[in-house]
Amino acid sequence: MSTDTAQPAGTPRPAGTGPRPSARRIVGIETEYGITCASTTGGPPPLDADHAARELFEPLIQAGRSSNVFTPGGARLYLDVGSHPEFATAECDRLEDVLAQDRAGEITMADLAGQANARLAAAGVPGRIHLFKNNLDARGAGFGCHENYLVRRRGDFWNDARTLVPHLVTRQILVGSGHVVPAGPRYRPRYVFSQRADQMHDAVSSATTRSRPLINTRDEPHADAERYRRMHVIVGDSNIAQGATLLKVAAMDLLLDYLEEGGDLGDLALAEPMRAIRETCHDLSGTVALERADGRTITPVDLQGEHLERVRAHAANLDLTALQRAALDLWERGLEALRAGDVGAVATELDWAAKYRLLERYAERAGAELDDPRLARLALAYHDVSADGLRARLEAGGLLRRYVPEEAARRAVTTPPATTRAHLRGRVVARARELRRDLSVDWVNLRLDDGRTPAIALRDPFASHDERVDSLIAAMDEAGSLPAGL
């Protein structure tokens, strides 16, 4: 990801040139949200998750007869299996847009919850809907946060995927969202790095729910399939802290750039990735010895340090953006904090550290243990995306750092990234809504449902201008809006 002048992912670099931006890459994040309807009178929940989700999406269903819509901001908003509201960001090729779009998803969900709660109150239902950007429900069932990276189609995709596995196994020591594992028959409750790590069962696979791999290889580029394919990462935790989102996306982007330029990470392969991901998760020091494929051992901190060192050497030839430099700095500071045992050094930027400090301070004041129900409620509140929730108060108090202004995130709710295909989609969706025209939309295709206007296929995700879109909007304007009520 880089500036507008960067070349698309995997474009060969001319010999003898000076510093260049990193390859221009399309990135998107899909986030499933947890939902509950808590009683306002202390009784049992008045709505189960399924009915709460239906209530949440009622305005969308009434407006478009569907719980699966694309927004004027270029994003996709829909109800996923298991009654999980999901927000998929628009296509982004700049880190600031990724962060703004991800936060726009939180704002969108919070606004829908606010509207739903107003309707419940008006109907006399003693309940309040809450949405949580986390990855485990009260029964331990998992749901995901998936990252999508557009990569050049080439023969060594599978090798690239496998060599990225050690990074995805160990990056949780930096970008995990933190989790309290309940007590079991043989162990006390304990705090770990990640909510997702114990849910994963395979390194690389084409399945998503059955084997839960770190990287899903299903080939859906939503672009020219002869040139591109998708790197679909499904191991990540949902992040509240913008610093964690910045680091996980920027690190993957730069590692992909490194590999596309001929770099190699194969010497750092792990012997048993699924064992290693659990060992890493449950050792808060970051120093557990992981067995490498070559028989030696390496700690998660040292493995991440090796990746950082190679990316820094590669980045010496790149013209990095300010956010890319900030991500590399946070990567280094996160590792230094672990080596020093100083959680507070990154507790305003990385979720696992922020939540750990929050729970630790409360436990000290209340004389509580990790399995105290009050700490469980506090840990859940950290992920509540309500406008008046804990996250908002932490940011307002300077306890969580913002990397993009809140105004930019609110603008992203209705304004798509200006430099990708999302700009075209967002323009059409917005105008169709204004004119009350029925529109069929997916990531690539636009079709006005009038039986006359030809469908448009937007196969280039990097293109932000298309005369066919201009003509479609002009045709809608010429036809005018439908009468109210139709």
Among all residues, which ones are annotated catalytic? 80
CA atoms within a 13 Å half-sphere pointing along the CA-CB vector of 327: 27
Helix (H) or strand (E) holding 78: strand 76-80
234 close to 202: Cβ distance less than 8 angstroms: no
User: What is the C-alpha to C-alpha distance for residues 174 and 335, in angstroms, rounded to an integer?
Assistant: 8
User: What is the C-alpha to C-alpha distance for residues 221 and 120, in angstroms, rounded to an integer?
Assistant: 41
67 close to 160: Cβ distance less than 8 angstroms: no
329 close to 345: Cβ distance less than 8 angstroms: no
User: What is the C-alpha to C-alpha distance for residues 96 and 101, in angstroms, rounded to an integer?
Assistant: 8
230 close to 211: Cβ distance less than 8 angstroms: no
Within 8 A by CB and 6+ apart from 62, the residues are none
**Nearest one of 231, 358, 315, 265 to 331, comparing CA atoms:** 315
Altogether, the residues listed in the chain come to a count of 486
**Nearest one of 472, 360, 363, 366 to 425, comparing CA atoms:** 472
**Nearest one of 357, 406, 391, 409 to 130, comparing CA atoms:** 391
Chain centroid to CA 466: 28
User: What is the C-alpha to C-alpha distance for residues 361 and 356, in angstroms, rounded to an integer?
Assistant: 9
**Distances, alpha carbon 64 to alpha carbons 22, 28, 432, 472, in Å:** 40, 24, 11, 20
94 close to 419: Cβ distance less than 8 angstroms: yes
Token couple for 42: 């202390």
User: What is the C-alpha to C-alpha distance for residues 260 and 151, in angstroms, rounded to an integer?
Assistant: 9
289 close to 170: Cβ distance less than 8 angstroms: no
The interaxial angle of helices 322-340 and 95-122, nearest 10 deg, is 80
428 close to 472: Cβ distance less than 8 angstroms: yes
User: What is the C-alpha to C-alpha distance for residues 133 and 34, in angstroms, rounded to an integer?
Assistant: 6
CA atoms within a 13 Å half-sphere pointing along the CA-CB vector of 249: 34
Strands 445-448 and 456-457: antiparallel
The type of residue at 167 is: H
